[in-house]
A and B are shown apart, each in its own frame.
Chain A
């Protein structure tokens, strides 16, 4: 789930000013249900998302739209559509190769050694906020390549979740154009994708069979507690719009979701400094990840 990251650098245009108090109410509602918080500086992003929904629903004012998502008969589906607008993102495959080098060189050998001792030869990955699927498909390709080398004899599965149901539909379809595939070499394209009539490439059944897509709201405690035994979580550029309290809660869930020795990867500019004390920040060449250490967590408590 990427939230308008490309837009945030430019100043808010005049027509996107949050000059109606209803926007603040919408902001608070979105925060309550998703943990995504639009600060004053980023409120224009919410205005932009709302305005796209105004057009689609024939609503004239922010107050009317607030009514629609709080009292209207279609409030739940409309809220979901608004969340889709808010969490639109654009990314591409193999965007952070250093993370995969760290997986290959350090993380997986350590995790595998610990698991092999107790006779387990299965690895679980979670792409939390998978957007339109580029990240989990990259992971699937990496793992399939590794299966021919150091992962021989191991099984693995990938859980890929997002809040945005429209993004998830795209991810499930697995059809990508040149932008998303810019870092996928010709050999990998031939091996794992099939051409579509309109000139794009669709992920083959081998890739798709490894990934289970699901709609998960990271702020929904009841869903978060069910994801257990994960070895590596990728949650890149998702937490950036969460406020501190929500961020802490999600990170505590991640800690509980991971097996000891497992890792959490965030976006390259994201930090848990002053957010969490129990993960250990580990630097690798070109990237950094958060290790869930073996042994009980330090004082401070976990979920």
Chain B
């Protein structure tokens, strides 16, 4: 992406909020939830959620779904306790995404997009826990938000982005390759600018902005490596973008893997065959989670911004 393209994109993203963009309440909530779990004050989160009827209703509906036991939950705070921070982040991300993109501007299948983002969040966090990475909660959020730039490209460059998808389907290549070829920049560029605008912490900005090009980082940050590897793991376990992609990855010889293993020796004790097989169960859990939100018609969003 050249300087002129960057400025244009930045300008368009700045105008995005007044057109369709992510509601301020969701930005606030994601900022609250990007802190370490111990620092998050659930009652503050509950307060913010209670200000938005649609988000509050979704939280309650999720908490009362069969995924979360049988005891009826009637308050937002009760729902938050039951859902936990990670599920709440996922739910908010799903809502954020759903509201941000007008129906006629969806290029990717929204369910595939959400499943991939959630899958990446879960896998990143699983690896982080396995290797003893100090902040697995942040890794989860980084995985969840890493492809947010796709939404920007969907809204701002709908027709061109559709061309990118067609190109990727035809060539069976990764979407960022198609974007760079058709648009001249990728969802990493737009994701980085959006996250910067949202004032999310710098390492999350890097995860959204560099997860396909680790070489662009001065030193391959562990967080970005985790997201990069998780993105690949999801794509080899049928949690991609709903099209057939040609992919062959030797994880143990991948620069991101090797960089991570240098700092976290426990990584070399991960049996990747077993690990990827175990993801099958997670895949089903993710599908159930996404379906539980999409299964019934969404209530009309009550925007407060």
Contacts and interface: CB of A to CB of B under 8 A. Distances in A.
Contact of A269 (B235, B249, B277): B277
B252 A280 contact: yes
Contacts of A271: 271-274
Contacts of B105: none
A284 B273 contact: no
B237 interface: yes
Interface stretch (A161-169, A210-218, A285-293): A285-293
A267 to B, nearest CB: 10
Given A280-B252, A280-B253, A285 B273 contact: no
Given A102-B248, A280-B252, A285 B272 contact: no
Given A280-B252, A280-B253, A285 B244 contact: yes
A283 B274 contact: no
Given A105-B172, A270-B273, A273-B274, A281 B250 contact: yes
Interface residues on chain A, size class:
20 to 34
A282 interface: yes
Contacts of B273: 269-273, 281, 288
A56 to B, nearest CB: 38
B65 interface: no
Given A105-B172, A269-B277, A282 B271 contact: no
A281 B251 contact: yes
A286 B249 CA distance: 12
B246 A283 contact: no
A80 B250 CA distance: 40
B191 interface: no
Nearest to B235: A285
A173 interface: no
B238 A286 contact: yes
A90 B231 CA distance: 36
A105 B246 CA distance: 6
Interface in A252-303: 268-274, 280-286, 288, 291
Contacts of A105: 172, 246
A286 B277 CA distance: 10
Interface string B208-249: 000000000000000000000000110111101000111111
A106 B248 contact: yes
B50 interface: no
A285 B245 contact: yes
A281 to B, nearest CB: 6
B86 interface: no
B276 interface: yes
Contacts of A285: 235-236, 238, 240, 244-245, 247
Interface of A: 101-102, 105-106, 268-274, 280-286, 288, 291
30 contacts: A102-B248, A105-B172, A106-B248, A268-B277, A269-B273, A270-B273, A271-B272, A271-B273, A271-B274, A272-B273, A273-B271, A273-B274, A280-B250, A280-B253, A281-B250, A281-B251, A281-B273, A282-B248, A282-B249, A283-B236, A283-B276, A284-B236, A285-B235, A285-B236, A285-B238, A285-B240, A285-B244, A286-B237, A288-B236, A288-B273
